[in-house]
Every structure is written in structure tokens, then in C-alpha cells.
Amino acid sequence: MAVEGGLKCIKYLVFFFNFIFWLCGLALIVVGVLVQVSLHNELLIDDASASGAPILLIALGVIVFLIAFFGCCGAWKENFCMLSTFAVLMSLIIIAEIAAAILGYIYSGKVTNVVKDSLADMISKYNTSSPEFRDTVDKLQQELKCCGVNSSRDWRDFYPGEDTVPDSCCITKSKDCGKGTMIDAAKVFQKGCQEAVVTLLENNVQWIIIAAIVVAVLQLLGVVFACLLMKGIRSGYEVM
């Protein structure tokens, strides 16, 4: 027996919410990949623990993507079994997302140390690494308008005794502009990159938390509507 009356509206709402979840799953995958690439290729963070959050985002994205597709089919076909499976799996996803948020909050206290260690490695490897690595370091300093880990003085071993920093530390970049200008605030960025990177990560985390809350609310509504639709379908079968 097909779903009648007001339950038809719920059916289409379940289908609509699942389509949104499908898009959200796809978005989580994309965001996870972008964060992973940014951490390792742009922010030069090599600490393996830093990959936990983006990998978790990708995994959740794949799962949500598949479950949402399952929910769409269940709603469209008015299949009680598929809808009940969707409701259970989506409830587990919501619990997993809450756990991930708690872990993210706990991990946030380690961000400063992870960034500091990664940036220290960045400086120590600058002279001996590939041109691509140096280009990435230069791009980081220019885009974030920073120099060194805590200050431009962190480059004191760049050319010992010459008070020289990479040209990417210069406010106005030009060839050899960093020579003898380490502590010249008029020519070289004095702010360290640790503060700039941590601020950037914290700002991005805030947006991710807001997005996660919105998605969780939508997921909860989807589960509620799926349960209402299941009740209607079950009642229909009982009437038969």
C-alpha cells in the first residue's frame, strides 16, 4: 500500500534530506582531502597525528555518502527495511560525529606543539632540501606574512653571522632583499609563522565546527522523518 496523504510529504522530505546528506558526504570527502593536502604540502606539517582529523573526515564522508544513497532508495521505494537500516546507520554516524568533535577538541591543545615542531624542521631543512620544498616554505612565509617559527631571528643559522633571512621574509620581495635585514622591521616580517599558522587552523576549525553542527541537526531531522515514514508504512501494511 502506497504512503497516503501527509505521509507523502514526509516521504519527499526524507528523500530531500538524504539528497542533502549525499551532498554533505561528498563535501566531507573534498574537505578532508583539501585539509590533508594543505597540512602536508602548504603548511608543511609532517606529524602523523595531524592526519587523524582529515582522514576521519574522508572516512565519514564516504560512509555518509553511501548511507544517504541507501536512504534515498528506501524513501523512494517506501521500503521499511531499507529505511530502518538507514535510521540505525545514520544514528551511529551522528554518535561518531559527536565522538570526533570531542576528539578534535582534545587534540586542539596539541596544535601549537605540532606546528612548532614542523616549522622548526622547515627551517633546519631549508638549505639542504629540494627547490620544491624551499618554494613551499617561501610561499608559506609570503602568504602568511611571517618569518621563522617565533620571529625572524629563527633564521640565524641560515647564513651564520650575516643576519640574513630568505627573501620570502621580505615585506617587498626582491632578489637578495633578505641579506643583513633579519631584525629590520621596515624590510622583513618580524612575526613568526607559528602564530600565523595556528590562527589560520583555529579559524578554519571554527567554520568546520559550525558546518558540523548544521549537518548533525539535518541528520537528526532526517532520522526523525525516516522513523515517521517507517511508522506510516508499517501501519499501511497492518491495514492490509
Q: Which residue has the cell 582529515?
A: 54
β-strand partners of 188? 170
Q: 86, 161 in Cβ contact below 8 A?
A: no
What's residue 170's pLDDT?
94
Q: Is pLDDT at 108 greater than 70 in this prediction?
A: no
Average pLDDT over the chain, rounded to an integer: 79
What's residue 111's pLDDT?
66
What's residue 238's pLDDT?
41
pTM: predicted TM-score of the whole model, two decimal places? 0.56
| Residue 130: DSSP 8-state | -
Q: Is pLDDT at 88 greater than 60 in this prediction?
A: yes
User: Which grid cell sits at 206?
Assistant: 571554527
What's residue 239's pLDDT?
36
Q: Is pLDDT at 235 greater than 50 in this prediction?
A: yes
Q: Is pLDDT at 47 greater than 60 in this prediction?
A: no
Q: Is pLDDT at 211 greater than 80 in this prediction?
A: no
More confident residue, 227 or 109: 227
What's residue 188's pLDDT?
94
Pairwise CA distance, residues 67 & 62, whole Å: 9
What's residue 78's pLDDT?
80
Give the angle 147-129-172 at the CA atoms, nearest 5°: 30
Extract long-range pairs of 27-35: CB within 8 Å, 24+ residues apart. 27/61, 28/57, 28/58, 28/60, 28/61, 28/64, 28/65, 29/57, 29/58, 29/61, 29/62, 29/65, 30/61, 31/57, 31/61, 31/208, 32/56, 32/57, 32/58, 32/59, 32/61, 33/58, 35/204
User: What interhelical angle do 193-239 and 131-144 show, nearest 10?
Assistant: 90
What's residue 3's pLDDT?
47
What's residue 85's pLDDT?
86
Select, from the ranges 29-33, 93-97, 154-158, 235-239, the one with the highest average predicted confidence (pLDDT).
154-158
Residue 104: which pLDDT band, with cuts at 50, 70 and 90?
A: low
How many CB atoms are closer than 10 A to CB 24? Answer: 22
More confident residue, 40 or 182: 182
Burial class (CB in 10 A: 0-12, 13-18, 19+), 187: middle
Amino acid at 112: T
β-strand partners of 53? none
